[in-house]
Amino acid sequence: MTTRRELANAVRALAMDAVEAANSGHPGMPMGMADIAEVLWNDHLKFNPTNPKWPNRDRFVLSNGHGSMLQYALLHLTGYDLPMDQLKRFRQLHSKTAGHPEASETPGVETTTGPLGQGLANSVGFALAEKVLAAHFNRPGHAIVDHHTYVFVGDGCLMEGISHEVASLAGTWKLGKLIAVYDDNNISIDGEVEGWFTDDTPKRFEAYGWNVIRGVDGHDSEAVKKAFAAATAQSDKPTLICCKTIIGFGAPHKQGKEESHGAALGKAEVAAARDVLDWRYAPFDIPAEIYAGWDKKKVGAEREQQWNDAFAKYEAAYPELAAEFRRRTAGELPADWASKSQAYVDKMQAEGPDVASRKASQMTLDAFGPLLPELVGGSADLAGSNLTMWKGSKNITGPDGNYVHYGVREFGMTAIASGLALHGGLLPYDGTFLVFSDYARNAVRMSCLIPSHVVHVYTHDSIGLGEDGPTHQPIEHLGSLRLIPNNRVWRPCDAVESAVSWKVAIERKGAPSCLIFSRQTLKHQQRTAQQVADITRGAYVLSDPADTKFKAILIATGSEVELAMEAARTLAQQNVPVRVVSMPCTEEFDAQPLEYREAILPSWCRARVAVEAASVDFWGKYVGLDGAVVGMTTFGASAPAPALFENFAFTVAHVVDSVKRVIG
């Protein structure tokens, strides 16, 4: 009969062999956590390898994602569509076994991990999503949403500050179905962590309100099994299981040392480890009895079928709820979404309110929120300034909650929002000041890389926020966010563009958007129906001379569109006809066909001026060497907004002079 240790050793062998073949990777953690993983995946984790997206599966996250071969080995052995050929091509171009787990590439990987601590943060989002959806859908005798989230974390994850932010929230929210396993192996890349990580981790998590199981021998399967049983037996608190392990377990000369952490063991050490582990098989050779001990295709299908049968009874008792659950887990928008959301956009164009775009955003939420029960918002302690709460917002701690008070935790908030989105059934948005996107930026980047369908709301978008001064006035942030691949950054100029930006962000399935809103009031712009439709294309002609060919093009975003329009009127009075292009989303414009881009910014017109209260450096690709940018080259200052715009030359006179200079 195959023993637990033999099953775990298959994981160790695959980790050694794959890293050796690639001559790159981290064999130590998979070898150290193999016994823990064997107990979890064989005795506790609920999943179906033949349907990785089964809604009621348990979620497994490898926050210490450098040990990716642990997860790849588990996926392969248990029956996911990850053949041995992919393990042999570990870390190679176009393989499904990247250096760190990628949700978009590998079946069974729930989220992309690697930047330490963010997998833990995503896991908090998964667990919160389970709790929210259970409150929304479960009924007495019908627990259709009932699963756990398991996350493996290492010393590095717990050193990162994001672990504090999200662990504190998990305890506050009493996420009893979140179970974290701490791989306490005392080693990081630089060596033994005693010189830089001496926290009392169990006390730390107890202070957060977690259930902590201390002193578990990570190589004693029965002890690990008891710990998991104790963790799942209670539901009032998240659980941290503290497991002492030996990194590189089985490698006689390198186990317990940093040499096994981030590099191939070497042929001699791999051979010696095979002797120590009594693993007498060739590289990548897994005997049939080992596969049989791991295979979860049959039991996984049976578990899913049991849930399907339970869901059928739920559907018979609550047909409308069941239909809503199917829609939301499929990621589909309501049938009336397109018509009703467009009707609101048209209403805004007809009514033409002059409001700050942050207020226009809240107005849009008031209109769109009732259409989207899956919408879950939140803000990092700035709800009253971000205006991210709408009329139907209710605290997430309630039975029908849909709003999260994250506290001052921008990084944790953003990564948790990705977890909410990746879980399925929810459409999250988060919010803070644009300048504090710096705190969240790596999680924003990850939301684009994973990708996850999150709407990142950033307000107080320029020096226009005024008296708070340069510490709070974003300068380089728009350009920084625009540089992230797969991102969409919208900076609308009025209530109409604000509504469109929300509409497009909601419809952008599977990928994030950043919506950038002003503190100050913005003037409504008149448009034709075609101009309203063209907002979705990222840029459009807002104004052209009536009876003559334009001599220059003004390109503007956000609050500076109004300035560009005023400058165009002044120039017209001086017989200098110009076109005004509103460009709320540069990435969306860049994705348009060449014919459309040429129609908006014709190549024959090289006299171009971009106007944006942000760093000038971004705009070179649109204005070229012959153009000019009216923007920021320094930090801001503390003063009322009108004085600041005057001081930094965001004036009609300066824009007019800039146009005349580029015309020559």
- Show binding-site residues for substrate: 26, 261, 358, 385, 460, 468, 472, 519
Is 192 considered catalytic here? no
Q: Which residues contact 45 (CB under 8 A, 6 or more apart)?
A: 58, 60, 150
Per the CB < 8 A criterion, the answer to whether 320 and 328 are in contact is no
What Rg value do the Cα atoms of the chain yield, rounded?
28
SS3 for 240-268 is EEEEECCCCCCCCCCCCCHHHCCCCCCHH
* The two structure tokens encoding residue 634: 């320094």
| Separation of alpha carbons 529 and 518, rounded Å | 25
SS3 for 469-485 is CCCCCCCCHHHHHHCCC
Measured at the CA of 303, the angle between CA 300 and CA 304, to 5 degrees, comes to 90
By DSSP bridging, strand 211-217 and strand 239-244 are: parallel
Closest by CA position to 178, among listed 114, 109, 126, 112: 126
Q: Which residues pair with 153 in a beta bridge?
A: 182
Per the CB < 8 A criterion, the answer to whether 458 and 433 are in contact is yes
Measured at the CA of 356, the angle between CA 350 and CA 358, to 5 degrees, comes to 105
* The two structure tokens encoding residue 541: 């002609």
Which entry of 410, 562, 588, 612 is annotated as an active-site residue?
410
Q: Which residues contact 137 (CB under 8 A, 6 or more apart)?
A: 144, 145, 321, 324, 325
Q: Which residues pair with 428 in a beta bridge?
A: 376
By DSSP bridging, strand 211-217 and strand 191-192 are: unpaired
Per the CB < 8 A criterion, the answer to whether 431 and 382 are in contact is yes
Cite the beta strand spans of 63-218 per DSSP E. Answer: 149-154, 178-184, 187-188, 191-192, 211-217
Residue 408's CB: how many other CB atoms inside 10 A? 13
Per the CB < 8 A criterion, the answer to whether 132 and 394 are in contact is no
Question: Catalytic site residues?
Answer: 410
